[in-house]
Amino acid sequence: MTATATILESITVPEAEGRAIPDAATRDTIGYAPVHTVADLEAIIAAARAAQPAWNALGHAERARILHAIADDLEANSEELAAILSREQGKPLDGPNARFEVGACAAWTRNAADTVLEPEVVFEDGPARAEVHYDALGVVGAIGPWNWPMMISVWQIAPSLRMGNTVVVKPSSYTPLSVLALVEVFNRHLPDGVLTVVSGNREVGAVMASHPGLDKIMFTGSTEAGRRIVESSARNLARLTLELGGNDPGIVLPGADVSAIAENLFWGCFINTGQTCAALKRLYVHDSVYDEVVDALAGLAQAMPMGRGLDEGNLLGPLQNQSQFDIVRDLVDDARERGARIVTGGEPAGDLGPLFYRTTVVADIEDGARLVDEEQFGPAIPVIRYTDVEDAIRRANASEQGLGASVWASDTDAAVEVAKRLQAGTVWINQHGALNPAVPFGGTKQSGYGQEFGVAGLKAVAAPKVISR
């Protein structure tokens, strides 16, 4: 890479050697991603295993110093990284989108560097003492999604590097350029073999899950794909962290101040145009405030600018790929056919581009409709009326998934009591989807297992060792 070359130029390959990656909004080709094979994966894992002992030997302090230097470099290149992300994934530069995601990459990298993980004394009686120490696992395989490709990759990469592991990253085939760009900045500061991207197809990902050279698999994606990874990992007994699909419920309690919660409700549903695992996917609203909530969400949906991500001022973008567009369209059409009321949206926004779908609020809908029971992963929220809080809790818990949930109320003590009864890895009060790099995050039920972030996240990519004396 020359001094004047861009990051995008440094990560793309000639057309004859790669796979065309389209702009999510326009479908024009951004560039060509390398197409790695299983043979490439074998060589990459071998290099990662060879590099791991020396990387681990540097110690925590030196690895933390390097991670801080990487975070500085991410911030220095934030505009170009955000532009690549915006084009490939579709999310706008502004709002809680592309610039926000790149900033989160730097923040989570710094947190991984600064989080303290000391040996834990678990027993002490006179001269007898037992401590738990945390060592590197070896090589971590990180398989990421297309919705937050940079940020979620950092969730996997940064703690793994901090603990002395080397990492092999497999990005989604929809968004490889974003992850290649991220890793290019990381690798300005890392020894060869410590962090490598394998940009391949599903076959490459399947081989990763069962590869004997990987000691840990971290995966964010669908529940179906997570099950396949669990099955494959039985061959090598790799440790697993799985953050899988979610159908997150929200419950608005009677007496809620709708004007105070409306904007947080909206972004809980529609951040990243609804393409977020822990977005609010079904909203149960008490009859006393139902119409007010529906009207508030519809007003915000109609006012929120949607369009091409690189155009300043837009806050919502397209669906990232045709498959996801089809899912959203089909679920909304099914709701309409069942007699649900489409308050706003409910149709493609073809004037904006081929994969844009108007921000949609659906009212007068019940459990059993596909839009309620299935994860839409897009800009459509079903709003379900209830009259009894006990019934709302039961319906919220009826899903097989349990990633996140939220309770919305003026009485926060009452909200906490409801939150304690919801079956989810995280329950938010008067917000939804807000994450903190120091606070553990993970799912329950069929939304996966294992936790990320903070001390829990470091432990998840480490091998506990008990020393007794």
* Catalytic residue ranges: 243, 277
* CB 160, CB 453: distance < 8 Å: no
| Separation CA 31–CA 290 (nearest Å) | 47
| Separation CA 109–CA 158 (nearest Å) | 5
* CB 182, CB 205: distance < 8 Å: no
Residue indicated by tokens 């299935």: 374
274 sits in the region (left: phi over 0; alpha: psi -120 to 50; else beta) called left
Tokens of 330: 């089909």
DSSP helix/strand/coil, 319: coil
| Separation CA 430–CA 408 (nearest Å) | 5
E strand residue ranges, 327-433: 341-344, 360-363, 380-386, 401-402, 404-408, 426-429
E strand residue ranges, 171-238: 195-197, 216-220
The separation between the first and the last C-alpha atoms of the chain, rounded to the nearest angstrom, is 53
| Separation CA 381–CA 156 (nearest Å) | 30
| Separation CA 45–CA 166 (nearest Å) | 9
| Separation CA 217–CA 225 (nearest Å) | 13
Nearest-Å Rg of the Cα atoms of the chain is 23
Which residues pair with residue 170 across a beta bridge? 143
433 sits in the region (left: phi over 0; alpha: psi -120 to 50; else beta) called left
| CA distances in angstroms from 183 to 168, 189, 235, 257, 309, listed in the order given | 10, 10, 29, 44, 22
429 sits in the region (left: phi over 0; alpha: psi -120 to 50; else beta) called beta
